[in-house]
Amino acid sequence: MAGGGYDLEEIRRRADLVEIISPHVALRKAGRRLTGLCPFHQERSPSFSVDPESGLWYCFGCKAGGDLFRFIELTEKVSFSEAVELLARRLGVPPRRPADAAQQRHKDRLLDLHRAACEFFQAQLQGPAGKQARAYLDHRGVSAGSLDSFALGYAPQSWDALLTALAKRGYSGQDLARAGLAAPRRPEDQGAAAGFYDLFRHRLIFPIRDPTGRVIAFGGRALSDEDQPKYLNSPDTPLFQKRAVLYAFDQARRTMGEKGQALVVEGYLDAISCHEAGFPETVATMGTALTPEHVDLLRRRVTRLLLAFDADSAGLAAALRGRELFQQAGLTVHVVALPEGLDPDRVVRQRGPQAFAELVAAALPMVEWELNRILRPLESAPEPARLEGMRQAIEVLARLPAGLEREYYTRWLVERWGVVLPGSDSPSRLANLEAAVRQELARLSTRRGEPTRRTAEAVGGPAPADRQGPDAVRVSLIETGLLAAFIRHNDLAARYGPQLEASDFASGQRGIFAAIRNLLDRQERITTQAVLAQLEEPQAREALAEVVITEVPEDRAEESVASAVGRLLEGRLLRREAGLRQRLQQAGSEGEREPILRELTELRRQRSQLAGQRLVGSE
């Protein structure tokens, strides 16, 4: 994890978490901890908890949590490395060493070069060479204000205009090539003029800036149809990694923080049009799908994303597949339904800002949008297509985490299908439909290996008597308690830990268990700090904060651990059984089925033995 050249441990040692949190939360002592009203969500009774001993905090209400850096990230709306720097300065911790000086000089020079190139392109746009580009921008309705604030430019129709201009400022062809603005001539092209040639020619130039507004790359749009590709971007350089940068982020930053939302579009002109149409919180992905890096950048500033992508774009399809990414980041995602074949820029220009604002206001939650997209064309489709559509819709539901949201959309789907399936509007037929949907949903959830009560029923095994709650939330509580007990009681970790595998845990907690296993293997003491040192992902650190703040019933620790381990082992067996059943369905011959059945019988035996042990153990 990048710490900006600071010793993170030194910062942790010097910092007093309580002192850092106190200006934001009135903390009151409660046992070993302090509690107060959470600064990250509205509440009346305190669910925000600080553990000074481990240096971690956690909110049981909104599930935010982490260490001191995370707290600064959230309250100051800065990145991790910015939070480190801020705390280092506040606490007087010096940078570890003048971070690789040569590398820094190289970066500074690259930044200067980009600034010079940007000035050159801007001047070209205003000069005689820029006439066609100006006409194009005028035709696209880009205002003079945007021209200026987005620093738009023009790369002239020439093989060496930029090279020549920057040579005067001391930059070589090699420098420009490293910045992705020029390329070496191939030997066969070499006449008298050996050397380099400009990569951006006769293109409208969109400077790409970092969050603080420094130019780090360029995007160029072709002005004539014969110039390919239509869009040309700078390659990745030490300044610019396309998958981690969003266009217009520097300008959108403040409004994003104020509104708590970001409007995400795909193209440069889409972003500019949306800014002009009254959505200064707009950023663009520059043609790639939203990456985990993009999501991480956004989740620090906003809680809500509005996607305004072409209905048939690859970017939207990728976003739909990436739903779990958004869920983990705690972002709600709405989709703006754009008219067929129109991008945001066209909507704003052809129908006006007001019409666009109405579309944004009518944006649908991602799930609803996706279900609508599947269901709408089916109303007049033949029977087999409708069944297939229903299966697809249920698959969408199965990808939702079990709980309120899935329940809500299950009902929603059934009611919608009442319309889609003719004659299914009578109450009994709706009830039948709901039962069918739930059955299919249970089957799909099994395939995804969700440890829910439905899983147990669906695979035919008797549901353990004490596991009536169908929700995954309870399962996750068991795991949280177990990990908490492992950290507090190392002897129990040594006794029970080796029976478990990381895959027995929910994804958020796998990293924590893996870290505990590492410490066990190395025979080192398991402490919060030792586990924390192995976790890099902010999500994993958040999960650890939850674990550390979780109370362990001290007097019955071993009993709870044994029972939790039993449950996880049972979950593992259930998942294996489900997999075998799947294979059984696909198996053709008796010869293929035989070994599967034998294995299945063995798994069931193990499982009932386990259940038996647990019953005896709890008496």
Residues that bind Zn ion (CB under 5 A): 38, 40-41, 59, 61-62
Token digits of residue 412: 């929603």
459 class by beta-carbon count within 10 Å (0-12 exposed, 13-18 middle, 19+ buried): buried
Minimum CB separation of residue 12 from Zn ion in Å reads 23
Distance set, CA 106 to CA 101, 170, 210, 240, 245 (Å): 9, 14, 17, 14, 20
- As a whole number of angstroms, the distance between CA 505 and CA 564 comes to 11
Token digits of residue 279: 């959505």
Q: Which amino acid is at 296?
A: D
Label the pairing between strands 261-265 and 304-307: parallel
- Cβ distance to Zn ion smaller for residue 41 or 448: 41
- Cβ distance to Zn ion smaller for residue 59 or 179: 59
- Cβ distance to Zn ion smaller for residue 40 or 206: 40
Minimum CB separation of residue 427 from Zn ion in Å reads 41
- Cβ distance to Zn ion smaller for residue 48 or 197: 48
Minimum CB separation of residue 483 from Zn ion in Å reads 21
DSSP result, 80-130: HHHHHHHHHHHHTPPPSSSTTHHHHHHHHHHHHHHHHHHHHHHHHHHSGGG
3-class secondary structure, 186: coil
- Cβ distance to Zn ion smaller for residue 24 or 447: 24
- Cβ distance to Zn ion smaller for residue 70 or 454: 70
212, 184, 207: which is closest to 120 by C-alpha? 207
Minimum CB separation of residue 24 from Zn ion in Å reads 12
Q: Which amino acid is at 363?
A: A
Minimum CB separation of residue 86 from Zn ion in Å reads 22
- Cβ distance to Zn ion smaller for residue 63 or 185: 63
Minimum CB separation of residue 217 from Zn ion in Å reads 38
Residue 198's contacts (CB-CB under 8 Å, 6 or more residues apart) are 155, 158, 159, 160, 161, 162, 163, 181, 182
- Cβ distance to Zn ion smaller for residue 40 or 513: 40
Helix or strand (DSSP H, E) at 195: none
| The dihedral sign for the CA sequence 310, 289, 307, 352 | negative
314 DSSP 8-state letter? H
Minimum CB separation of residue 70 from Zn ion in Å reads 13
3-class secondary structure, 333: strand
- Cβ distance to Zn ion smaller for residue 39 or 287: 39
Minimum CB separation of residue 73 from Zn ion in Å reads 15
What residue number has its CB nearest to Zn ion?
38
Minimum CB separation of residue 37 from Zn ion in Å reads 9
Q: Are the CB atoms for 488 and 526 separated by under 8 Å?
A: no
- As a whole number of angstroms, the distance between CA 132 and CA 202 comes to 9
- As a whole number of angstroms, the distance between CA 454 and CA 311 comes to 35
- Cβ distance to Zn ion smaller for residue 185 or 304: 304
In the block, tokens 């070209």 appear at: 124
Minimum CB separation of residue 59 from Zn ion in Å reads 3
